[in-house]
Amino acid sequence: MLDGILGVIDNLGNIFTLYNLAILVLGVVGGIILGALPGVSPTLAVALLVPFTFYMNPASGLILLGAVYTASVAGGAISAILINVPGAPANIATLIDGYPMARSGKAESALYTCFISSFIGGIFGMIIMVLFTLPLAEFALKFHSTEIFWVAILGLTVVAGLGTGNMIKALISGAFGVWLSTIGSNPVTGEFRFIFHNVLTGGIYIIPALIGLFAIPQVFSLVESYGAQRAIFQFRREKGILGKTFIQVVKMFKVQTIGSIVGAIIGLIPGVGGQVAGIVSYDQVRKFSKYPDKFGTGIPDGVAAAESANNAMVGPSLVPLLTLSVPGSPTAAVLLGGLLIHGIFPGPDLFRLHPSVVHTFIGSLVLAQVGMCVFGIMISRYSNWVVKVPDLYMAASIVILATFGTYCVQNSFDDVIVMFGLGTLMYIGSKFGFSALPVVMGVILGGIAENSFLKGLLIAGAGKGLLSHFFTGPINVIIVLMCAASIGYGIYSGRKGERKKMQVKKRDAVVSAVILMSTILVYSSMKAKDPLTPIFPAATLIIMGSLSLLLLILALASMMAKREPTDVSPIRFPFPRIVVTGLLIIGYLSVLNILGFYFTAFVFYLVFTSIVALDREVIFSRLRNRILTSVLFVVILVMLFKMLLKVQTPAGLAF
């Protein structure tokens, strides 16, 4: 065990050459920036850099990949905190408290919390990885389909407590997300489902869904709040925030411990890993907290819980790759390519035959954690630049970044359409008390749950039968009990102090009726040849339908009781501005392919920032500044997406 650590220390010499250190710094800074772009997940960032390592020596190549992996995981938190759009699925939990902090002028402190917690979690994960490599590998292999199915279900039970409002609505949103994940081809039976339009053939991918569900409602809400006074403009940068935040973070001993342990354990589970580590840890920290009600209002504990977990996941997630040669996560699969290209075959022999390579790699990951923390803090100092961007400029930037971020994931314009469609639906839903987080959790976990359920079903059918296959084995039993505990806690806290959360409003009657009707319509449209294909979507739709029926009954009952409605305030809605925003986005999408992505972005940016205010004075005043800002924005876009990421956008008439 200890020789692992000694080995790493011995090989630090390999890293401390000028060239390698330069690569490490470049990888860390680049990784943070790439990670912060919505859509550029750690997997994509690493995949894009693997070809560069073709021409490097093994040590430098590994340092680059390790640095980019580590840094991009933490970088995703920047956009979550500053613009309420997570850079990657791993960062969804970060925005729950991170964005409220930024909105109230504490962006810098939130980012410092994020990077310091990432560092603590990351180092913890590395230590666990080095000390317990082989037992961890054996443990990871014990997760079969049934165990993974239960882990996904456990993740879904967290959904009930997410979001800001009615628990039934959170569950409906979660079920909707799970249903979204079943669109497209079923990987087990090969059959296609719910292809209402050709753009859906490839199914709904996590990242376009993630961007749409968070970014588009954010665009509309920025347009809504345009003109309102914001705290940030009165805000002056305090001296010594870093020191204060540092002391605050170090004092959160319990939060960091829970976050790191949860992250390290979940990181090991093949296929589930990083995407849910943050949210599960957030949920646990909240449940064990003395002030669970404050979570979601902008407290640093929430940011720390999410970020310590998603970096603690990095080390353990590499264990199956390094010891068994089987990557446990998409990012690890990409790293495998990076190792193979240098003739390094991971597996049991790796530690024996190439100990210095492994130790250099691990050493570079550890140093990358340090670099990530240092450079992350340096970058955070400029966060106020982003926070101070006026609302309309920010809204226009988000529309364009969301488009590019979605497109670059799989070079698909269909995904861009799906992203905007889902986002618009989410915005409407948010007006009726539905929130994006449960939907995203459903999309992420639904696919994992269905897949592992069907595989388990096939194996059970050939073996010992369904019940005994899914409910025996120590890990299954433990996770099932945890699911039960999680549901029990939800019901308990629902009864205890969160009565308010169950409150039903009159307009819910209409919403729930609409949802119920659509659910029935979709259900009746299902047809399949293989009996396995409809099981999961049917169950999901039945749950969704029952929940909306329950909501309908509650809403009707409260109308019957003629209770005074507590929400006398009508929905705040600057109708003309929202309509103009919607029309501009539709216009933008329809000329995107014809004129070329970058030119359209320029026109959209200029037009959007000029006319959405619907104020004649705004249109003509400082026009030159707006043109320049638009040019500058597009130039940055070109540099990032065309030159750095080499995204090939369709050639239009312009560029």
Partner 1 sequence: MKRNAYMLTALSLVLAVCVLLGFTTVARAEYPDKPIKLTVSYNPGGATDFQARIVTMMSQKYLGQPIVIINKPGAGGLVGWNWFVTDALKDGYDLVAYNMPHFIAQSIVFPKKAKYNIRNMEPIANWGADPAVLVVPKDSPFNSVKDLVDYAKKNPGKVTFSGAGKFVGHHIALLQLEKAAGIKTTYVPHTGGVPALIAVIGGEVMAGFNNTSDAFRSKDRLKILAVADLERNSFVPDVPTIKEAGYDVDDTSNNFRGVAAPQGTPPAVIQKLADTFVKMYKAKQVTGKMEQTGCGIKVIPRDQLKEVWKKREAYLKEVLKELVQE
594 near partner 1, rule: CB under 8 A: no
Q: Which residue number, 241 or 638, has a Cβ lying nearer to partner 1?
A: 638
* From candidates 270, 316, 376, 405, binder to partner 1 by CB under 8 A: 270
- 278: DSSP letter: H
Tokens 């353990």, residue?
A: 316
* From candidates 135, 227, 243, 348, binder to partner 1 by CB under 8 A: 348
Q: Which residue number, 12 or 638, has a Cβ lying nearer to partner 1?
A: 638
Q: Which residue number, 299 or 444, has a Cβ lying nearer to partner 1?
A: 444
Q: Which residue number, 598 or 604, has a Cβ lying nearer to partner 1?
A: 598
465 near partner 1, rule: CB under 8 A: no
Please report, as residue ranges, which positions from 441 to 460 form the binding site for partner 1 (by CB under 8 A).
451, 455, 458-459
144 near partner 1, rule: CB under 8 A: yes
Q: Closest approach of Cβ 46 to partner 1, in Å?
A: 8
Does residue 537 contact residue 458 with C-beta atoms inside 8 Å?
no
List, in order, residues 6 or more apart from 643 with CB less than 8 Å away.
Answer: none
Q: Which residue number, 142 or 244, has a Cβ lying nearer to partner 1?
A: 142
Cα–Cα distance for residue pair 207/625, rounded to 1 Å: 34
Classify residue 449 as exposed, middle or buried by CB count within 10 Å of its CB (0-12, 13-18, 19+).
Answer: buried
* From candidates 292, 296, 347, 421, binder to partner 1 by CB under 8 A: 347
261 near partner 1, rule: CB under 8 A: no
> Beta strand 192-193 with 184-185: parallel, antiparallel or unpaired?
antiparallel
Q: Closest approach of Cβ 459 to partner 1, in Å?
A: 5
Cα–Cα distance for residue pair 443/92, rounded to 1 Å: 13
Does residue 648 contact residue 408 with C-beta atoms inside 8 Å?
no
Cα–Cα distance for residue pair 235/574, rounded to 1 Å: 27
DSSP letter for each residue of 163-218:
SSS-HHHHHHHHHHHHHHHTSEE-TTT--EE---SGGGTT---HHHHHHHHHHHHH
* From candidates 5, 242, 324, 543, binder to partner 1 by CB under 8 A: 324
Interface stretch with partner 1, choices 289-297, 416-424, 509-517, 633-641 (CB under 8 A) = 633-641
638 near partner 1, rule: CB under 8 A: yes
Q: Which residue number, 4 or 346, has a Cβ lying nearer to partner 1?
A: 346
Q: Closest approach of Cβ 38 to partner 1, in Å?
A: 18
497 near partner 1, rule: CB under 8 A: no
Interface stretch with partner 1, choices 362-370, 372-380, 408-416, 514-522 (CB under 8 A) = 408-416
List, in order, residues 6 or more apart from 572 with CB less than 8 Å away.
Answer: 224
464 near partner 1, rule: CB under 8 A: no
44 near partner 1, rule: CB under 8 A: yes
Please report, as residue ranges, which positions from 412 to 441 form the binding site for partner 1 (by CB under 8 A).
412
Q: Which residue number, 45 or 95, has a Cβ lying nearer to partner 1?
A: 45
How many Cα atoms sit within 13 Å of 515 on the Cβ side?
31
Q: Which residue number, 133 or 284, has a Cβ lying nearer to partner 1?
A: 133
* From candidates 15, 23, 36, 48, binder to partner 1 by CB under 8 A: 48
Q: Which residue number, 553 or 632, has a Cβ lying nearer to partner 1?
A: 632
Report the Cα–Cα distance between both ends of the chain, in Å, rounded.
Answer: 56
What does the buried/exposed string (b/e) look like for 64-75 if buried means 16 or more CB atoms within 10 Å of the residue's CB?
bbbbbbbbbbbb
Please report, as residue ranges, which positions from 187 to 216 form the binding site for partner 1 (by CB under 8 A).
187-192, 201-203, 205
181 near partner 1, rule: CB under 8 A: no
Q: Closest approach of Cβ 650 to partner 1, in Å?
A: 9
Beta pairing partners, 185 = 192
23 near partner 1, rule: CB under 8 A: no
* From candidates 240, 343, 531, 570, binder to partner 1 by CB under 8 A: 343
* From candidates 6, 131, 340, 478, binder to partner 1 by CB under 8 A: 340
141 near partner 1, rule: CB under 8 A: yes
- Please work out, in degrees rounded to the nearest 5, the angle formed at the alpha carbon of residue 513 by the alpha carbons of 511 and 517: 120
DSSP letter for each residue of 624-653:
HHHHHHHHHHHHHHIIIIIIIS---PPP-S
List, in order, residues 6 or more apart from 172 with CB less than 8 Å away.
Answer: 434, 515, 544, 547, 548, 551
Q: Which residue number, 42 or 217, has a Cβ lying nearer to partner 1?
A: 42
List, in order, residues 6 or more apart from 454 with CB less than 8 Å away.
Answer: 186, 188, 189, 532, 535, 536
* From candidates 29, 46, 419, 426, binder to partner 1 by CB under 8 A: 46
341 near partner 1, rule: CB under 8 A: yes
Cα–Cα distance for residue pair 527/537, rounded to 1 Å: 11
Residue of 183, 271, 189 whose CA lies nearest to 458: 189
287 near partner 1, rule: CB under 8 A: no
Tokens 């011995």, residue?
A: 10
Q: Closest approach of Cβ 531 to partner 1, in Å?
A: 14
Please report, as residue ranges, which positions from 360 to 399 form the binding site for partner 1 (by CB under 8 A).
none
